[in-house]
Amino acid sequence: MSEITESEKLLRRIEILSALILSIVTLAAGVGFSLRAAAGVLQGGAIAILSFQILKWQLRRAFQRPGKIPRKAGLFAAYYIRYLAALFVVFTVLYYGWADPVPFLVGLSVMVLSISLVGGFEFISMVARKGDR
């Protein structure tokens, strides 16, 4: 059984918080605006979370062998292919009008918000631990 590292715990907190934020914002958009707005938020959030999960998988795969440094070209190529695929999906959703732009952008921002909140919480707890010394 493998030991869970601090970075894995941090990633797990980001994932849980992003799912929670996406659920709350989607529900709020559905209640406060319309079901179309809620669908746009959900679509944007799903794309952002899926892109984050693919990035996590790519980096794990690249760095899974200790002592072996991954090739830069392969790592960058995979990163930009994932980025371009996400960009294509975003363009397709907006071009065909499957989502309104503003709620869709709110959904896309879910990962940024969760990373910022977890980072801020970690900073505050680090400062608090330093002050207890």
Give the residue among 44, 48, 28 at the shortest CA–CA distance from 107.
44
Average confidence (pLDDT) over 105-133: 91
Average confidence (pLDDT) over 87-114: 95
Question: Residue 101 pLDDT > 50, yes or no?
Answer: yes
**Residue 45 binned pLDDT confidence (cut-offs 50, 70, 90):** very high
**Residue 64 binned pLDDT confidence (cut-offs 50, 70, 90):** confident
Average confidence (pLDDT) over 74-86: 88
